[in-house]
Every structure is written in C-alpha cells, then in structure tokens.
C-alpha cells in the first residue's frame, strides 16, 4: 500500500489522510472530538536513538556530536531540515517518534509496536557504484524484540530532492550515474529510465521524479531485506513555517515554490509506485516482493 498523509495547509491543526481503508480520505480538523483517536489504532513505544558511532543520542548536543549532518555547522541551523528533524524527535525532552509521524505510521496497519531504534545519518549501500544512500534517519519498528518494519526519513525544509532523475542523463561514462538510475528504476518500477550509452531519457515521466525519492526508497527497501521484513516505509517529513506570510518577512527563501514543487514530486512518485504495485522488483542488488509504503508528513518549524 502506498499512501500520502499531509496537512491540507500550513495550519498545524488541519490534516488530510489518503490511506486507503483507514478513514476514506476524509479531512480531520483537530478538536475536542477529534475522530483520529478512534479512526486508527494507537501505537506506543520506547524510542532509542544512536549516532553513526553507535553512541546514544539523548539531546541536541549529543545528536550533533554523534550524528552531525554532512556539512556540519553549515546545515545545523534553525529552520533547516537537519536541525529541525532533530528537534522534532526530541521535542518532548527525550527521544520520541514525532507524534505526526506516529499517527501516520499507525494508519498503515503494520502491527503493534513497542520499541523504535533510530539512527540519524545512517548509510545504506545501493550498488557497487560508490556513495550509498544517507538516510536523514533510519529506523526499525519492533515488537517483543522482533522488527516489524523499517522506515527511512527524508527530511525537507525549503529545499528540493537534489534535482531530477533526468538531470543525471548528461553524465557520460565512466560516470556510473546513468547505470545507478537504471538500477533504481528497475528496483522500483521494473524497467530502465535512461539509455546508458546515449543518455536519452526512455520514460519522461519517471525522468521527472525527484532523485532523492528514488535513493531513499531503494535504500529503505534494501534495509528491510537485510532484516527479512516485508514492509519498508519511506517518510518524507516536510517542515514548514507556521505562517508563510510571517516567513516572507524574515526568511529570503522561497517557501511557496519549494513546498509546491516537493508536493508535486511526491505525488508523482506515489502515483508511479502505485501503478506497478508498490513492491520491489528484482535487480542485482534488490530482491523482489518487499512492500513499499510512502508517507508525506508535514511538521511545523520550531524556529
């Protein structure tokens, strides 16, 4: 099952759920009679976070010490995805799955969860072509000591998905970018997207997809298969200001364009995944059959 869960506007109390079989795609507005409390099963868990050095993460200082973003201080800024993601996982004063992510995950119906292990900046090898997928956060959702499903988070603020797949078409051999794009396309859709010799885009719709959505999805699928679990969940955690008008007054970034573009790219990706059954396809690095779920969840900036 592939789904998108998103707020209908930058309001922090308005949600839309389009997960089939859950609540029929109805719009819920948070209130004292919020139907979300009965529409979907609750999940509760203990959450433990670990850095790339396997040290425990308990606060912002230890997050940055043990799982810093690739560019360090340059990316560790209020209003930017790396730090905002960390704040969202620590907003209760201790590690905890953000409530909006928990709510979205609970609606997938993947079983009871009593424990979550998370690793920010975890890297997954995708193929033999060099750099792997660096998850903003990778997690295992567990029950009674066994992993039920895995999830990978792609966190975004006012930024895109590292261009499109078609952008890689101009990189000629010996670059392996075309070959990687075809491996990713084959794993997700069962067919290539580029002519590796000429760079011609074979499928314009797939070529227009956000590149990081592909690497994030396949990286999460590979991690699921390493643990012999059937479900991989890709979560796009989109951060946004409480008010776009307020953001215009002190933030030079073009939030409207970024949010609109990201929403369209996620929608296109979800639609394409749904058309081919939302399961992994055989490649040299991916086994067939793993179920892929895609969630888009919006989180407010803490500031």
Per-residue pLDDT tens over the stretch 26-80: 232 222 333 333 334 445 569 999 999 999 999 999 999 999 999 999 999 999 9
Per-residue pLDDT tens over the stretch 2-32: 444 443 332 232 233 333 323 333 232 222 3
**CA gap 200, 151 in Å, rounded:** 33
Question: Against a cut of 0.95, is the pTM above it?
Answer: no
Residue 132 lies in a domain: yes
Instruction: Return the residue matching tokens 């490649």.
Output: 283
Residue 252 lies in a domain: yes
Residue 165 lies in a domain: yes
Averaged pLDDT for residues 188-204: 98
Residue 225 lies in a domain: yes
DSSP string, 53-113: TS-EE-SHHHHHHHS--TTGGGT--TTSHHHHHHHHHTTTSS----HHHHHHHHTT-----
Residue 80 lies in a domain: yes
Residue 21 lies in a domain: no
Burial of 302 (0-12, 13-18, 19+ CB in 10 A): middle
Q: What is the pLDDT of residue 45?
A: 63
Q: Euclidean distance between the first and final Cα of the chain, in Å? A: 34
Q: What is the pLDDT of residue 11?
A: 29
Q: What is the mean pLDDT of the chain?
A: 87
**How far lies 196's CA from each of 174, 205, 212, in Å?**
11, 17, 20
The parent domain of residue 281 ranges over 41-300
Range with lowest mean pLDDT among 7-21, 32-46, 105-119, 232-246: 7-21
DSSP string, the chain: ----EE-SSS-TTEEEE--TTTSTT-EEE-STT-THHHHS-----EEEEE-TTS-EE-SHHHHHHHS--TTGGGT--TTSHHHHHHHHHTTTSS----HHHHHHHHTT------EEEEEET-EE--SSSS--EE-SEEEEEEETTEEEEEEEEEEESS--SSSBGGGGGG--TT--HHHHHHHHHHHHHSS--B-TTT--BS-HHHHTSBHHHHHHHHHHHHHHHHTT-SEEEEEEEEEE-S-HHHHHHH--S-HHHHHHHHHHHHHHHHHHHHHTTSB----SS--S--EEEEEEEEEE---
Non-local CB neighbours of 53 within 8 Å, separated by 6+ positions: 66
**Whether the predicted pLDDT of 191 surpasses 80:** yes
**Whether the predicted pLDDT of 243 surpasses 90:** no
Averaged pLDDT for residues 250-264: 93
Residue 20 lies in a domain: no
Percentage, residues of the chain above pLDDT 90: 79
Residue 203 lies in a domain: yes
Q: β-strands 5-6, 14-17: how paired?
A: antiparallel
Longest CA span, the chain? 60
Q: Say if residue 174 is preceded by a cis peptide, omega within 30 of 0.
A: yes
Give the confidence band of 91 by pLDDT, cuts at 50, 70, 90: very high
Q: What is the pLDDT of residue 130?
A: 86
Q: What is the pLDDT of residue 244?
A: 80
**CA gap 171, 177 in Å, rounded:** 7
Q: What is the pLDDT of residue 10?
A: 29
Give the confidence band of 250 by pLDDT, cuts at 50, 70, 90: confident
The count of structural domains within the chain is 1
């Amino acid at each position: 099952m592939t789904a998108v869960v998103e707020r209908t506007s930058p309001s922090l109390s308005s949600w839309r759920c389009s997960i089939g079989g859950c609540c029929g795609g109805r719009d819920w507005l948070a209130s004292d009679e919020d139907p979300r409390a009965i529409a979907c099963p609750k999940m509760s868990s203990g959450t433990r976070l670990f850095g790339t050095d396997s040290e425990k993460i308990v606060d912002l200082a230890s997050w940055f010490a043990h799982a810093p973003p690739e560019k360090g201080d340059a990316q560790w800024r209020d209003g930017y995805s790396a730090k905002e993601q960390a704040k969202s996982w620590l907003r209760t004063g201790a590690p905890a799955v953000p409530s909006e992510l928990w709510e979205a995950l609970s609606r997938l119906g993947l079983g009871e969860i009593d424990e979550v292990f998370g690793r920010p900046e975890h890297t997954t090898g995708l193929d033999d072509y060099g750099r792997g997928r660096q998850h903003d956060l990778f997690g295992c959702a567990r029950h009674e000591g066994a992993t039920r499903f895995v999830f990978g988070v792609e966190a975004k603020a006012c930024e895109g998905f590292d261009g499109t797949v078609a952008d890689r078409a101009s990189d000629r051999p010996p670059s392996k970018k075309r070959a990687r794009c075809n491996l990713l396309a084959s794993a997700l859709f069962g067919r290539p997207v580029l002519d590796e010799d000429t760079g011609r885009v074979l499928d314009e719709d797939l070529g227009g997809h956000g590149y990081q959505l592909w690497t994030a999805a396949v990286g999460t699928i590979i991690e699921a298969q390493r643990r012999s679990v059937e479900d991989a969940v890709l979560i796009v955690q989109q951060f946004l200001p409480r008010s776009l008008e307020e953001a215009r007054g002190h933030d030079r970034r073009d939030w409207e364009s970024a949010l609109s573009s990201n929403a369209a790219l996620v929608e296109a990706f979800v639609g394409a995944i749904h058309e081919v059954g939302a399961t992994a396809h055989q490649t040299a690095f991916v086994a067939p059959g793993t179920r892929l779920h895609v969630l888009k969840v919006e989180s407010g900036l803490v500031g």
